[in-house]
Structure 1
Amino acid sequence: MKNGLKVLIVASEAAPFIKSGGLGDVVGSLPKALKEQGVDVRVVIPRHMSVKNSEMQDVKYLGEFDVHLFWRIQRAKVLVKPQEVPIYFIENDFYFGRGNLYGYGDDNERFAFFGKAVLDMMAMLDFYPDVLHCNDWQTGPICLYLKEIYSKMIYYSRIKTLFTIHNLQYQGNFDKSTMEILGAPYYCYENGNVEFYNNVSYMKMGLTYADRISTVSETYAKEIQTWEFGYGMDGILRSRRDVLSGIVNGIDYLSNDPETDSHITYHYNVEHLEGKAQNKQVLQERLGLERRDVPIISMITRLADQKGLDILSHVFHDMMQRDVQFVLLGTGETRFEYFFREMAHRYPGRASLNIFFDETLAQQIYAGADLFLMPSRFEPCGLGQMFSLRYGTVPIARKTGGLADTIMPYDAKTKEGNGFLFESYDGGGILWALDQALQVYHKGKEDWMHVVKNAMNSNYSWAISAEKYIELYEMLKEEALPTE
């Protein structure tokens, strides 16, 4: 094991068991990369009702105990799936036997219960990690509990915490009566450690009480210290900037490989790209698009303002005046679903708007499209551009967050760069970057292949990012050692 390093990653979701977005992908893939580098890493998540039954085979019951929250006592059962990276489940049907992961009036109580159960589970297992790696607001109470209560017990006193922000916009802010539910000292609220505009903030708990903070790209780490991107937390982040790091997420290169991906019809690699052109034809046929050599612009996204759909909708007709086809896959806000359904009727044979999610179709889009559009207002890291780069689908994106860190603007003279960026958050920026891409595309196959190959040669596997996390873990472990 890497210097005997023990890490417990705590989150509210993890692929392939349950995921609602990028957090689930990260918690599903980062631990594997850490394990490969010799870390004793384990994961714990709630046993949500919607966890896939197919993934729960071979799960073992380990034990159970009571968790006290204010006047309520609830039972926590601990299950484990004993695989290469063991994953523990905290089971309680009262809190997690529900159809959705979040969005309930008692989310404050649900995740206070989860936090206490995770800490109590360690005693039951006799497993005390060097680092508790907490993720997003749902795990904020753990950082509070550990510092204010559990650290007074010898086995917990040496545990350090890393708190990772995946999206600062989602903060877990609740009424101040939450302090009673938590059973934490009231001075934590009065001294401002958890108080946020007269509410209790689980995100602020993590930012205040964690020993170190990280977020999912270097640029986003800088952006969240500003008023524009800080969502009210910029002050505390500036005050803790000495312990704030940005580490770009990665993707699983084994399961996302155009040479072996079982979801796509034709396999290909950076040296033999014929299969990509064939996948394009397959995609056109499946989606009812005109079968001709025309640039396909694609989006796989949540339909929300954050993703730039407000500015895209303003220039959608201008975009379609170019000789292009457009493919979208995703669900979200009703107004955007309605807009794109209308566009599908407006541009038959040229626009395919798929208001649902399908993993196989997603992979076929990555493999068959030419361009991947991400005009995000902000993007902590973004995974879509990494998948598209892996499959040689050239990204067009706004220069923000992780998009700025992973996409290098293509220079037609030097033949360097793997995509196209724009800075101003408006429809004109989208069209400008699109025209830059189309200019190279129409210049000729040889020129376009330079960009495609640059994209495919980009490396955003987890190996490099895992090393950076290990550096943080080892720094935390060193900080826990007693001084002479």
Structure 2
Amino acid sequence: MKIVYLASEVAPFFKTGGLADVMGALPKKMQELGHEVSIIMPKYDKIPVKYLEKLEWVARLESHGDIFNLVRYPDDKINYYFIENKALYERGHVYGDNDEDIQYAMFSELALRFLKEINLQPDILHCNDWQTGPVPYFLNVRYNNDPFYWDMRTVYSIHNLMYQGRFSKYSFERMGYDIGGYGLNFMEIGIGYADVVNTVSPTYAEEIKYPYFAEGLEWITNTKKIYGILNGIDVDEFDPEKNPDIIPFNKDSLDKKKENKYRLQEKLGLPKSDVALISLVTRLVEGKGLDLVSAVLENLLQYDAVQVVILGSGDRFYEDYYNYLTNKYPDKFKVYLGYNPHLANEIYAGSDIFLMPSRYEPCGLSQMIAMRFGTIPVVRETGGLKDTVHPYNVFTNEGNGFSFTNFNADDMLYTIKVAEGIYYDRPEVWKDLIRRNMEADFSWDKAAREYVKLYEEAKTH
């Protein structure tokens, strides 16, 4: 098959979250399976210079008085294309401007036009999140009379239904479309017009049928069939035997994992100790369960034999509170505000417990990375967290982590204490949990095979 991926961000060129990781890994796996793969994203000036300086000009188009260029990053296996327009995509930042509807409506249509300009005729257009929601609509409405596009089918992936791209009608009207009504919802358009729709875990695909998770779109998530395919992670990048940021270890050399813990403690200014080290690598926002964490964190620090490390940035309230706790409990708590991928790997490898109490989590990659590094997850049962973390059963010795159901701080605290109890009182069980997680398959192999089935399903439409 010929597959073209359309996304607003792709690792390693630009990343703010899990979408970029998926777009960095899934196309590579599809190429390995023998498919012809191309990717199109906007050319931001935030892309590192080492990539920008290698871009090659491919084609030029005009639209509404603006000039758009298509440029390509040289790669032997995947065609990486970027749509260039300085006014729209080179602003010193990405996302958040008042004209995002113009930015991504233009990106969606120009991507289709450039396909014809360079004679790239894919079987599948794989669109991702609200920024590419207009693509299935444009394909069905503006280009349905052009034979060049007749055999193209669209797959639309919802990575997070909370971010939908709600706008006035101005962007479409400016481009000559009249869809009636008063406003636009880019994600709703994508879901409605795509041939096949999926989201990034089986549990989340079911959850978004309910108003709590559907964010106002339950009318369409209950009428359109939505598949759930669990994301994978790059198991080579997060290989504890090969990752350059850590002391290498495997399931048979767990003493080296403990050395990573000691090194992390020394780096962060925490006392070298065998107490349970609990970590979070997360955006500091409400949806990640930070209200639960903040409600019980001081209780943990006062009464439990633990150290807690948080890496992330986000809402000022959380940042200020965690800075305060860092000063109040210098031997038990540290926060690093910002994002540092090298430190993140050290935290994944050096921690004992990884806490992820999300209110909603479509898939979640952090828990899989932590588990790959032998760090035991404590999570809330939602979305992909429920699909990947199975609660430990003391009677059957089954499971790979610890979980709680209700979005409740006391339930989370109780679950943390259960995990602490196993850590301190049953060290051999804890080692079994570590090995079990390190042996788990979080690769893209299974997901890629499921996406192939999804693409075949789309081709029958």
Q: TM-score range by the shorter chain?
A: over 0.9
- 1:195 match: none
Q: Indicate the percent of aligned positions where both proteins have the same amino acid.
A: 38
Q: Deviations over 1:276-301 (max 9, x none)?
A: 00000000000011111100000000
Counterpart in 2 of 1:16? 12
Q: Which moved more, 1:378-387 or 1:308-317?
A: 308-317
The question of whether the paired residues in 1 share the 8 Å contact of 2:349 and 2:373 is answered with: yes
1:131-142 alignment runs, 5 A limit? 131-142=124-135
CA distance in 1, matches of 2:227, 2:313: 32
Q: Is the 8 A contact 2:42 2:83 kept in 1?
A: yes
Q: Which amino acid aligns with 2:204?
A: Y
Which of these residues, 202, 223, 229, is aligned with residue 247 of structure 1?
229
Task: Give the distance between the partners of 2:356 and 2:134, measured in 1 at CA.
Answer: 33
Q: Do structure 1's residue 305 and structure 2's residue 286 form an aligned pair? A: yes
Residue 148 (structure 1) aligned with residue 147 (structure 2):
no
Once residues 342 and 65 of structure 1 are traced to their aligned partners in structure 2, the CA distance between those partners, rounded to angstroms, is 54
Report the equivalent of 1:47.
43
State the Cα deviation string for residues 9-47 of structure 1 (Å, max 9, x = none).
000000100011111111111111111111111111000
Q: Which amino acid aligns with 1:181?
A: R
Q: Does 1:107 align with 2:89?
A: no
- 1:316-331 aligned within 5 A: 316-320=297-301, 321-331=303-313
What's 2:170 paired with? 177
User: What SS does structure 1 have at the residue aligned with 2:57?
Assistant: strand
Q: Distance in 2 between matches of 1:411 and 1:34?
A: 37
Alpha-carbon offset, residue 214 of structure 1: 0.5
Q: Counterpart amino acid of 1:239? A: T
State yes or no: 1:205 paired with 2:189.
Answer: yes
Determine helix, strand or coil for the equivalent of 1:155: helix
Q: 2:78 aligns with which of 73, 77, 85?
A: 85
Match of 1:363 among 345, 356, 360: 345
2:372, 2:62 → 1: CA distance? 47
- Mean Cα deviation higher: 388-397 or 77-86: 77-86
Question: Helix, strand or coil for the counterpart of 2:149?
Answer: coil
> Is the 8 Å Cα contact of residues 109 and 182 (structure 1) preserved in structure 2?
no
**Is 2:37–2:78's contact at 8 Å kept on the other side of the alignment?**
yes
TM-score by length of 1: 0.93
Q: CA offsets per residue over residues 404-442 of structure 1, 9 Å max, x none? A: 001111122332211100011011121111011111101
Alignment RMSD: 1.1
The answer to whether 1:281 aligns with 2:281 is: no
TM-score (norm 2): 0.98
3-state DSSP of counterpart to 2:406: coil
Q: Which residue is 1:482 aligned to?
A: none
- Cα distance in 1 for partners of 2:57, 2:11 equals 21
Structure 1 residue corresponding to 2:180, chosen from 177, 189, 206: 189
Structure 1: stretches of 5+ with no match in the other structure: 191-197, 480-484
Gaps of at least 5 residues in structure 2 are: none
**2:46 corresponds to which letter in structure 1?**
S
- Residue 57 of structure 1 deviates from its aligned partner by 4.7
- Picking from 48, 54, 68, the partner of 1:76 is 68
Is the 2:105–2:172 contact (alpha carbons within 8 Å) kept by the matching residues of 1? Answer: no
- The verdict on how the C-alpha distance between 1:99 and 1:58 changes in structure 2, with shifts beyond 3 A counting, is closer
Name the stretch that deviates more: 22-31 or 79-88: 79-88
Partner of 1:268: 249
- 1:139-164 deviation per Cα after TM superposition (whole angstroms, max 9, x unaligned): 01111100101121001011110110
Within a 5 Å distance, the mapping from 1:84-483 to structure 2 comes to 84-184=77-177, 186=178, 188-190=179-181, 198-241=182-225, 244-264=226-246, 266-320=247-301, 321-479=303-461
Number of aligned pairs? Answer: 459
Q: Return the letter of the residue paired with 1:173.
A: R
Secondary structure of the residue that 2:227 maps to in structure 1? strand
Distance 1:76 1:14 in 2: 20
Cα shift readout 1:103-150 (whole Å, capped 9, x = no counterpart): 101111111110111001111110111010000000011111001011
Matching residue's letter, 1:221? A
3-state DSSP class of the match of 2:37?
strand
C-alpha deviation, 1:76, in angstroms:
1.1
* Distance in 2 between residues matched to 1:86 and 1:177, nearest whole Å: 33
Of stretches 323-332 and 96-105 in structure 1, the one that deviates more from structure 2 is 96-105
Residue type at the aligned position of 1:308 = G
Match of 1:31 among 27, 31, 44: 27
User: SS where residue 16 of structure 1 aligns?
Assistant: coil
